[in-house]
Chains A and B, each alone.
Chain A
């Protein structure tokens, strides 16, 4: 009986030892993982410091103005002294979202410079968004002659000077294609002054090397077999009445509030995973942005951006653009994923 009792004690002691050992091991594992994470975060911070050595000391983040968009960005906002690209087909609300960001950037003072090469900027609408027109400078492109390269150089020089100025909080502009060297100059100027450069550009630019820290693609989120663009890069071609005899529903008269649906895809961002997208709904009356649906990484169906990434993975991209992208990554301004 005594022997049996001793065996029972032994067993309980063994299980106790095993449990304690497990706990200790778990604690060690947690500590090890914590140390690893700490090391990783420290390394990340070091890398970030090295990469952003040229920038001003201001490390505060600028909110996009919409919490849903902020959540997609590392540390919940944009750094000062970076370039942000909004690629869109036009008429999809990219102007609105980007100008709200410009407004946010100017909240603590500083002027907003609007680069308007096509003479299309409409200030009353900007004022309705909340842009302070007292601190607004518009750079017109009236001197821009398409045949005259000097005019274009002067315009880009103006943007570069504005980005370099410490009294300017943000430079916003709908631009076409920007030469890679100019883009690099813009980036360096923005880094020097801490100014935020926000450029709304056509979707064609997606396949070109970029020096932007953050790149968004704004689309309608529907993938089509046939897609074309025409007329100032604004419209997407559809099958019209001349192409067939499909049934057509008359347009519904909105009647109530106008709402605009769009898909926002993060195609380039340092310090976070790219490819994330979000479906948004902009209210035309209040300007509020509601989240329709958050698309996880890799599950994004529509949009040119995902096609681009798939092509890139398969190596179907032209050598020049993919190699220059790689070069960008090597220089530390590629995607951080």
Chain B
């Protein structure tokens, strides 16, 4: 057997979140707990297919890749279920937010890196890596560190599997394929000893890992299975050169990464910043004004340093380490870089007030039990919480007990006093000074005032609600633009100048678009009498001539060419169409799922109101999409 192990001093902790999209969704929407949930994606060939399902749904027979219609038919008979479109971006954001909260365990926290090929294949990150080299003694030992991390995640409502090993590849493989089993047997997170200290049991555990633990391409794994190679022990007995010759260099590289021959770095989400200021309080306090004064002092100190290096901060982080419980953390993003305390502090104060609100409320209530909470703020409840956390974390528990947000709020309520305040600048750029004009300056051109406004709005109502539009080249009206947040440290500093818009049809599109389009339940269309021609006059109540949508036969060709007469939005509102222009056919979006085929009409109803309606040529249903 070839030499496999390379000795080095790094220690990597991996958290793998089984069924991450569902976990994230359940944590965000507590009401979905213990429900059968299906997430679907749109496939260009197969339409809507299941991309993730909750354990209860899986139990009901749903599996990944199944058409949604089939999954629905499986679940329909046995009660309620929820279906959502899979939001990959939200999954990533959730993982990033979680990684930010883990920085109290390690300074280097990063997401699992996915190469472009795997990404195209649909693989998304669902693991986090922490470099814990030399940190174990701060928590007792590595096992204690892993346990505390598990408790932290449990408190937030997540159920990860944790493994500590020498390399990123090894930690990932162990977390994915061995940690669950190990935890159910020993009630301990899986901590693999360093290479030199490993015994026969540890080596056997590694050898028994399936070949999937090497993060290989599914095609290669299939080939290996066909060759009868199922675990690492079998794979390592083969000659490396022959493997590379038959299966490509990937397997070579993955083996080296697993063993540590090739260094695989953790891509830290937040780089260690040079602008940090912290202060430990002599006496822990929950008094907001006191904390605000300390924060202001630290911000002032950082602003001086920023000005000295001609830098402007775009993203500020404030971390309040509490005496008990998780740290309170929040960030303040800015529209334009600044190094002025007067500009930053009002925004931080606003966030601080929100962040400390539960703590303040609790201090006013003097430790009274909080209503509508399962837990009570006393020692007993904490004990209960610990007992719950020590329960085995396996598939069965995933099914039965999703953690709720209540536990997060419970954490907030148990935090009493702030012990340490840290303020740091996570993103900063070179500050460009613009000279103002002395005379005749138009106040409307005051960019400073506008940037202050955007900062204030984004911090009060959330950056996702203060946006700017960017036009896209899409024929489908819904995809002809995108709204992007104005306050985002990752965005380009200057907006791309929008291209001049063709103004030949100024009012071709309505200024208000209904999202989603409103279905027009009943639609009276002209039924052809002779040779598909429209009759000159129709009696309204005459069903034989003006038919209900459901009663009219399959005359899709005629329908698409004939403007509508009556639109019925609901039972009470009937719109009589007096004039119409169209149709404008839009066929697009095959790459997003099923091709969109619509015939758009601009219609004028009797009250001279103009609306934008369309007929979906696939379902022959009519929709109201906008008003002019």
Chain A residues within 8 Å of B, Cβ to Cβ: 56, 89-93, 95-96, 99, 108-111, 119-130, 132-134, 136-143, 154-155, 157-158, 161-162, 165-169, 174, 193-194, 220-222, 230-231, 234-242, 244-255, 258, 260-262, 282-287
**From B474, which residue of chain A is reached at the shortest CB distance?**
A124
B563 cross-chain contacts in A, Cβ below 8 A: 250-251, 253
Q: Contact at B467–A158, with CB atoms within 8 Å?
A: no
B382 at the binding interface (Cβ < 8 Å)? no
**Which of B461, B536, B575, B602 is within 8 Å of A155, CB to CB?**
B461
B373 at the binding interface (Cβ < 8 Å)? no
Beyond A96-B511, A127-B498, 17 extra complex contacts between A and B, CB < 8 Å: A90-B627, A124-B480, A127-B501, A128-B505, A136-B468, A137-B486, A140-B464, A158-B461, A161-B453, A222-B607, A234-B609, A236-B609, A248-B538, A248-B576, A254-B581, A285-B504, A285-B505
B395 at the binding interface (Cβ < 8 Å)? no
Q: Measured between C-beta atoms, what is the minimum distance from B466 to chain A in Å?
A: 6
Contact of A258 with B469 at beta-carbon distance under 8 Å, contacts A92-B608, A230-B572, A253-B563 already known: no
Contact of A123 with B465 at beta-carbon distance under 8 Å, contacts A92-B609, A161-B457, A230-B572 already known: no
A246 cross-chain contacts in B, Cβ below 8 A: 540
B357 at the binding interface (Cβ < 8 Å)? no
A252 cross-chain contacts in B, Cβ below 8 A: 578-580
B606 at the binding interface (Cβ < 8 Å)? yes
B30 at the binding interface (Cβ < 8 Å)? no
Q: Measured between C-beta atoms, what is the minimum distance from B442 to chain A in Å?
A: 5
Interface of chain B residues 445 through 501 with chain A (CB within 8 A):
445-450, 452-454, 456-457, 460-462, 464-471, 477, 480-481, 483, 486, 495, 497-498, 501
Interface of chain B residues 253 through 282 with chain A (CB within 8 A):
none
Q: Contact at B565–A143, with CB atoms within 8 Å?
A: no
- Cα distance A283–B508 when bound, in Å? 10
B628 at the binding interface (Cβ < 8 Å)? yes
- Cα distance A250–B483 when bound, in Å? 40
- Cα distance A245–B539 when bound, in Å? 6
**Which of B456, B566, B573 is within 8 Å of A231, CB to CB?**
B573
Q: Contact at A250–B538, with CB atoms within 8 Å?
A: yes
B611 at the binding interface (Cβ < 8 Å)? yes
B502 at the binding interface (Cβ < 8 Å)? yes
B515 cross-chain contacts in A, Cβ below 8 A: 119-120
Q: Contact at A121–B503, with CB atoms within 8 Å?
A: no
Interface of chain B residues 566 through 612 with chain A (CB within 8 A):
566, 568-570, 572-581, 602-611
Q: Contact at B509–A125, with CB atoms within 8 Å?
A: yes
- Cα distance A90–B454 when bound, in Å? 30
Interface of B is mostly: mixed
B380 at the binding interface (Cβ < 8 Å)? no
A123 cross-chain contacts in B, Cβ below 8 A: 469, 471, 481, 483
Q: Contact at B443–A166, with CB atoms within 8 Å?
A: yes
**Which of A154, A247, A255 is within 8 Å of B461, CB to CB?**
A154
A167 cross-chain contacts in B, Cβ below 8 A: 443-450, 453
B510 at the binding interface (Cβ < 8 Å)? yes
- Cα distance A27–B604 when bound, in Å? 58
B554 at the binding interface (Cβ < 8 Å)? no
A239 cross-chain contacts in B, Cβ below 8 A: 574
Interface of chain B residues 536 through 568 with chain A (CB within 8 A):
536-542, 546, 563-566, 568
- Cα distance A167–B608 when bound, in Å? 38
Q: Contact at A141–B465, with CB atoms within 8 Å?
A: yes
Q: Contact at B607–A89, with CB atoms within 8 Å?
A: yes
B534 cross-chain contacts in A, Cβ below 8 A: 250
A120 cross-chain contacts in B, Cβ below 8 A: 512-515
**From A80, which residue of chain B is reached at the shortest CB distance?**
B444
Q: Contact at A237–B580, with CB atoms within 8 Å?
A: no
Q: Contact at A138–B497, with CB atoms within 8 Å?
A: no
B155 cross-chain contacts in A, Cβ below 8 A: none
B566 cross-chain contacts in A, Cβ below 8 A: 240-241
**From A98, which residue of chain B is reached at the shortest CB distance?**
B511
Contact of A258 with B446 at beta-carbon distance under 8 Å, contacts A91-B627, A124-B501, A247-B539 already known: no
Contact of A138 with B467 at beta-carbon distance under 8 Å, contacts A169-B444, A285-B504 already known: yes
**Which of B450, B602, B603 is within 8 Å of A168, CB to CB?**
B450
A162 cross-chain contacts in B, Cβ below 8 A: 453, 457
Q: Contact at B504–A165, with CB atoms within 8 Å?
A: no
**Which of B444, B457, B575 is within 8 Å of A166, CB to CB?**
B444
Give the interface centre of B518, B537, B628 by most chain A CB atoms within 10 Å: B628
- Cα distance A155–B510 when bound, in Å? 24
**Size band of the interface chain B makes with A:** 35 or more
**From A261, which residue of chain B is reached at the shortest CB distance?**
B608
Ranked 3 nearest A-B pairs via Cβ: A240-B574, A110-B444, A91-B609
B1 at the binding interface (Cβ < 8 Å)? no
B334 at the binding interface (Cβ < 8 Å)? no
- Cα distance A164–B454 when bound, in Å? 12
Q: Contact at A91–B628, with CB atoms within 8 Å?
A: yes
B611 cross-chain contacts in A, Cβ below 8 A: 91
- Cα distance A220–B502 when bound, in Å? 29
Q: Contact at A138–B469, with CB atoms within 8 Å?
A: yes
B627 cross-chain contacts in A, Cβ below 8 A: 90-91, 95, 234
A284 cross-chain contacts in B, Cβ below 8 A: 505-508, 581, 602, 628
Contact of A90 with B608 at beta-carbon distance under 8 Å, contacts A154-B461, A252-B578 already known: no
Q: Contact at A286–B581, with CB atoms within 8 Å?
A: no
Contact of A231 with B569 at beta-carbon distance under 8 Å, contacts A121-B512, A143-B461 already known: yes
- Cα distance A33–B471 when bound, in Å? 59
Contact of A122 with B506 at beta-carbon distance under 8 Å, contacts A133-B471, A140-B465, A220-B609 already known: no
Q: Measured between C-beta atoms, what is the minimum distance from B523 to chain A in Å?
A: 12
**Which of A89, A109, A174, A244 is within 8 Å of B442, CB to CB?**
A109
B574 cross-chain contacts in A, Cβ below 8 A: 237-242
Q: Measured between C-beta atoms, what is the minimum distance from B605 to chain A in Å?
A: 8
Give the interface centre of A91, A95, A222 by most chain B CB atoms within 10 Å: A91
- Per-position binary interface string of chain B over residues 100-139, scored 1 when its CB falls under 8 Å from any chain A CB and 0 otherwise: 0000000000000000000000000000000000000000
B60 at the binding interface (Cβ < 8 Å)? no
B526 at the binding interface (Cβ < 8 Å)? yes
**Which of A122, A142, A157, A247 is within 8 Å of B626, CB to CB?**
A122
B68 cross-chain contacts in A, Cβ below 8 A: none
B471 cross-chain contacts in A, Cβ below 8 A: 123-124, 127, 133
Q: List 21 A-B contacts (CB under 8 A).
A: A91-B611, A110-B445, A120-B512, A122-B626, A126-B511, A129-B506, A130-B503, A134-B495, A134-B497, A140-B466, A158-B461, A166-B449, A167-B450, A239-B574, A240-B574, A248-B546, A251-B603, A258-B602, A260-B604, A260-B610, A285-B508
Give the interface centre of B456, B467, B578 by most chain A CB atoms within 10 Å: B467
Contact of A128 with B609 at beta-carbon distance under 8 Å, contacts A136-B469, A238-B576 already known: no
B508 cross-chain contacts in A, Cβ below 8 A: 128, 284-285
Q: Contact at A247–B480, with CB atoms within 8 Å?
A: no
B512 cross-chain contacts in A, Cβ below 8 A: 90, 95, 120-122, 174
B248 at the binding interface (Cβ < 8 Å)? no
Give the interface centre of A125, A130, A222, A260 by most chain B CB atoms within 10 Å: A125
Q: Contact at B537–A142, with CB atoms within 8 Å?
A: no
**Which of A143, A238, A258 is within 8 Å of B465, CB to CB?**
A143
- Cα distance A254–B578 when bound, in Å? 10
A244 cross-chain contacts in B, Cβ below 8 A: 540-541
- Cα distance A245–B470 when bound, in Å? 50
**From B540, which residue of chain A is reached at the shortest CB distance?**
A241
Give the interface centre of A109, A155, A258, A261 by most chain B CB atoms within 10 Å: A258
Q: Contact at B456–A122, with CB atoms within 8 Å?
A: no
Contact of A122 with B510 at beta-carbon distance under 8 Å, contacts A220-B609, A245-B541, A248-B576 already known: yes
**From A224, which residue of chain B is reached at the shortest CB distance?**
B607
Q: Measured between C-beta atoms, what is the minimum distance from A105 to chain B in Å?
A: 9
